[in-house]
Amino acid sequence: MLPYRTISAYVEAVRAGRTTARQMVDATLAQIDAQNSRLNAYREVFTEEARAAANRIDEHMARGADPGPLAGAPISIKDNIATTLGRTSAGSKMLADYRSPFNATAVERLIDAGAIIIGKVQCDEFGMGSSGENCAFGPTRNPHDTDRVPGGSSSGAAAAVAAGLCLASIGSDTGGSVRLPASFCGVVGVKPTYGRVSRYGLVAYGSSLDCIGPITNSVADAAQLLQIMSGHDPRDSTSSTRDVFDFTKEIERPGKPMRLGVPKKARSDKNDDAVNDAFARAVDHFRASGAEIIDVDFGLADYGLATYYVLAPAEASSNLARYDGIRYGHRAEPVAGDSLEDLYARTRAEGFGEEVKRRIMLGTFVLSAGYHDAYYVKALKARRLIHDAFTEVFSRCDAMITPTASMPAFRIGERADPIRMYQCDRYTVNANIAGICAMSLPAGTIEQDGSSLPFGVQLQAPVFAEMTLLRIARQLEESQPSWAGRES
């Protein structure tokens, strides 16, 4: 493992002169070299560029200059977030060799704060997947049991953080793609409020649902990265102009006892029995930490999956129409006599994987004449009802707690049926539908088939209430470090 597990521990050490940015980068590269072949977490590693950046930071520090709040911390970036280093492939053959001429705003802000981008990590193709298996460059494996999935779509991000192949990673979340892998890999994952972090430079999947968020080994690190990435961006018209709290300082201040709502359906016969047991223990830990636990009724929970799998494919159908083999990306080899339509069809058939094709076809269907009102418009109405249901729940509690997933990490290939795979998202999609903030927090382990598998609880709070989530999670992390599995 790395000599430091968290950004905060590393930054303290580098400022105290106990280590250097170059030493940290070299240690990270050594870990990647030793483990990536079995995990397939990284798509690309920026060895020379990372060492050069570390040398520059060490030179600046030697002259007394401030290295920034991240001080050379090695951070990986999901393959669907634009970087000028390497390729931005979104896990797809369609963009296998695409090189972005610009950095995403979130990446720019991390670099300006002193981060070193150590590499790009694998993901489900265009963010469409819950397991990490839908990637043109092979599945990523869970570091806790390499026969199992790490969760998706930010599969490489969570696996890399959990295995010590970087100090943190930046993923994206359209229906649970940060939180689900965070739960399966035993790390912290935050989906901010829609608009809190700029989407500029994120390869679009579902534009009204997509969010960029951090995956880390501690709540404090998640707070710091969210602090750095947040704020209005004139290049993204959906980014919020709201002021950003100093999350890092605020989470350390004692707050009032929190009221946590537990939905009746959080303890469900659709969950693995071990998940229900682990969730009950997690609720008891929150109660012992001073939280008031109240039962709430979120009756629309079961409608979230159906709503999501109409809205997200509809937006994907529109967003992915640009990949036609003409402007950029993969192009099929021309065949004599081909029409332009033939070229489009063969390019898209070759360039997209099966799950992406499935969602494009589903989205095209629900937007088509004769079905638009029956499916898409009805899903929009359901979205409003889900939003209103959250508003009612949050009038009675500060945050809601559920399992992040109804099962621990499952074996690779075990959920080949798409409907079974979609069920993985039943607890996570509603936060994206409503645009609220949510996070997954490590909550111990589940013993299954001889493996000790991480289990995560999900906290959800109103729009722009990230401080509430982070403060609850931080208080729990402080009071129950052995249970949460957190170490410096």
pLDDT tens for each residue of the chain, 488 residues long: 899 999 999 999 999 999 999 999 999 999 999 999 999 999 999 999 999 999 999 999 999 999 999 999 999 999 999 999 999 999 999 999 999 999 999 999 999 999 999 999 999 999 999 999 999 999 999 999 999 999 999 999 999 999 999 999 999 999 999 999 999 999 999 999 999 999 999 999 999 999 999 999 999 999 999 999 999 999 999 999 999 989 999 898 877 889 999 999 898 888 999 999 999 999 998 998 889 999 999 878 789 999 999 999 999 999 999 999 998 899 999 888 889 999 999 999 999 999 999 999 999 999 999 999 999 999 999 999 999 999 999 999 999 999 999 999 999 999 999 999 999 999 999 999 999 999 999 999 999 888 899 999 999 999 999 999 999 999 888 876 554 444 44
Token pair 């798409």 is found at 418
Q: Please say if 177 is a catalytic residue.
A: yes
Which residue in 76, 78, 92, 100 is the catalytic one? 78
Question: Of 322, 251, 398, 247, whose CA–CA distance to 95 is shortest?
Answer: 322
Question: Of 18, 477, 31, 438, whose CA–CA distance to 213 is shortest?
Answer: 438
143 DSSP 8-state letter: T
Collapsed DSSP state (helix, strand, coil) of residue 76? strand
* CA angle (333, 339, 343) in 5-degree steps: 35
Which of 80-111 are b and which e, b meaning 16 or more Cβ less than 10 Å from the residue's Cβ? bbbbbbbbbbbbbbbbbebebeebbbbbbbbb
Collapsed DSSP state (helix, strand, coil) of residue 261? strand
Which residue in 76, 100, 130, 153 is the catalytic one? 153
Q: How many CB atoms lie under 10 A from the CB of residue 244?
A: 17
CATH of domain 7-260+402-484: 3.90.1300.10
Beta bridge partners of 460: 400, 438
Q: Which amino acid is at 237?
A: S
Q: Are 248 and 223 in contact (CB under 8 A)?
A: yes
| Predicted local confidence at residue 257, as pLDDT | 84
Q: Please say if 153 is a catalytic residue.
A: yes
Question: Of 83, 441, 153, 96, whose CA–CA distance to 282 is shortest?
Answer: 441
Cα gap 235→332, rounded to integer Å: 33
H/E run at residue 189? strand 188-191
CA 52 to chain centre: 28
Q: What is the pLDDT of residues 374-390, one digit of tens each?
A: 999 999 999 999 999 99
Q: Are 154 and 166 in contact (CB under 8 A)?
A: no
Q: 485 φ, ψ to 5°?
A: 80, 25
Question: Of 185, 138, 132, 117, whose CA–CA distance to 37 is shortest?
Answer: 138
Strands 451-461 and 437-448: antiparallel
| Domain boundary assignment for the chain | 7-260+402-484, 302-380
Q: Which amino acid is at 143?
A: P
Which residue in 131, 154, 177, 239 is the catalytic one? 177
Q: 82 φ, ψ to 5°?
A: -70, 135
Cα gap 45→156, rounded to integer Å: 12
Q: Please say if 154 is a catalytic residue.
A: no
Cα gap 382→303, rounded to integer Å: 8
Q: How many CB atoms lie under 10 A from the CB of residue 246?
A: 11
> CB neighbours of 416 closer than 8 A, spacing ≥ 6?
none
- The dihedral through the CA atoms of 223, 228, 231, 237 has a sign that is negative
